[in-house]
């Protein structure tokens, strides 16, 4: 079984800064982590390998420092790691990112592709399904349980607002997972030692035969024009105390509604 887990190195959510000229994230010097949902995807890949055999490859696209996230994944137990890094990838939106990852996965080969449901920096939840569309394979989002998996099929539960759907798919297939799926394992001492010595494979746009016109800013149909913090109103009033009549009067005064 060839299992590919797509991960993303994201800024610590409390440390996000934006370049005012390019409207892109400033990553240099900012603490980073593996996207939390992707950690659950790694654990899912390891559990599938334990049941069916095979190999787990973690894949990410980013600057050279993204290698640290791949080593963390190897410490958890992944067998192999690939870093897509090239200046041509800079400024990619979800469309260009998914295209690039799909080309790399086609080069690597995969039976099951796993992604976190979304990244905490962009929160779009688009990249996973877009990868599957570029590769013309089935995809199932919001996986909360992998019921059964074999070398040619799998059965999963897809999280819904009022329960779950039970779905079966042939392979290859792409799954995006939610945190309810599992509890990620902690890296072992043996895993940490292996991560330090591991060779990270690096691939460029040329290595995956990607069309330059579909990469980075050139290949991104969506672009951020402006980012700003929402303004605050200065005419705020604090409602304090337990005097219900007084509070209702103030609320009525503020919003112009009859309070019940």
Kindly give the pairing relationship between strand 139-149 and strand 173-177.
parallel
The pLDDT of residue 114 is 98
Q: What sign has the CA pseudo-torsion 76, 81, 86, 91?
A: negative
Helix pair angle (189-197, 67-76), 10° resolution: 140
The pLDDT of residue 50 is 96
E strand or H helix that includes residue 46: helix 36-52
The domain covering 2-214 belongs, at the CATH homologous superfamily level, to HUPs (3.40.50.620)
From the CB of residue 206, how many other CB atoms can be counted at a distance below 10 Å?
10
| Token duo for residue 193 | 């030692």
Q: How many CA atoms lie within 13 A of 186 on its CB side?
A: 2
Give the mean pLDDT of 4-11: 94
**DSSP assigned state of 227:** -
- The answer to whether residues 105 and 4 touch, using CB atoms and an 8 Å cutoff, is yes
> pTM of the predicted model, to two decimals?
0.83
Q: What digits encode the pLDDT tens for the residues 55-103? A: 999 999 999 999 999 999 999 999 999 999 999 999 899 999 999 999 9
Res. 259: pLDDT tops 50: no
The pLDDT of residue 17 is 66
Cβ neighbors of 192 (< 8 A, separation 6 or more) are: 75
Sheet with 112-116, strands from edge to edge, namely: 163-170, 153-160, 139-149, 173-177, 112-116, 2-6, 55-61, 80-84, 201-203
**Range with the poorest average pLDDT among 66-75, 114-123, 224-233:** 224-233
Tokens 């099951």 belong to residue: 112
Res. 231: pLDDT tops 50: yes
From the CB of residue 124, how many other CB atoms can be counted at a distance below 10 Å?
14
Could you give the CA distance from residue 54 to residue 46 in angstroms, rounded to a whole number? Answer: 10
User: What secondary structure does DSSP assign to 164-199, as a single string?
Assistant: EEEEEEESSEEEEE-GGG--PPPPPHHHHHHHHHPP
Q: What sign has the CA pseudo-torsion 140, 34, 7, 215?
A: positive
Res. 222: pLDDT tops 60: yes
The pLDDT of residue 29 is 67
Asked if the peptide bond before residue 172 counts as cis, ω within 30 degrees of 0, the response is yes
Res. 187: pLDDT tops 60: yes
Local confidence band at 25 (pLDDT 50, 70, 90 cut-offs): low
For residue 185, which of 56, 58, 50, 76 has the smallest C-alpha distance?
76
Could you give the CA distance from residue 101 to residue 32 in angstroms, rounded to a whole number? Answer: 21
């Amino acid at each position: 079984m060839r299992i590919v887990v797509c991960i993303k190195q994201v800024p610590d959510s409390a440390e996000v800064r934006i370049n005012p000229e390019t409207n892109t994230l400033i990553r240099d010097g900012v603490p980073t982590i593996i996207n939390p949902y992707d950690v659950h995807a790694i654990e899912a890949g390891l559990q599938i390998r334990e049941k069916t055999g095979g190999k787990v490859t973690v894949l990410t696209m980013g600057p050279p420092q993204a290698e640290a996230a791949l080593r963390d994944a190897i410490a958890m137990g992944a067998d192999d790691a690939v870093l897509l890094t090239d200046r041509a990838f800079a400024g990619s939106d979800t469309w260009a990112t998914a295209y690039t990852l799909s080309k790399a996965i086609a080069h690597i080969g995969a039976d099951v592709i796993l992604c976190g449901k979304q990244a905490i920096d962009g929160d779009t939840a688009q990249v996973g399904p877009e990868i599957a569309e570029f590769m013309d394979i089935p995809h199932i989002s919001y996986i909360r349980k992998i019921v059964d998996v074999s070398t040619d099929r799998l059965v999963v539960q897809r999280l819904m607002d009022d329960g779950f759907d039970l779905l079966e798919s042939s392979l290859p297939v792409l799954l995006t997972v939610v945190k309810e799926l599992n509890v990620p394992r902690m890296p072992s001492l043996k895993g940490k030692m292996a991560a330090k010595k591991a060779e990270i494979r690096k691939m460029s746009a040329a290595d995956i035969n990607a069309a330059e016109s579909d990469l980075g800013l050139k290949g991104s149909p969506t672009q951020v024009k402006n980012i700003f913090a929402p303004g605050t109103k200065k005419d705020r009033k604090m409602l304090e105390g337990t005097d219900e009549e007084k509070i209702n009067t103030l609320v009525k005064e503020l919003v112009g509604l009859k309070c019940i």
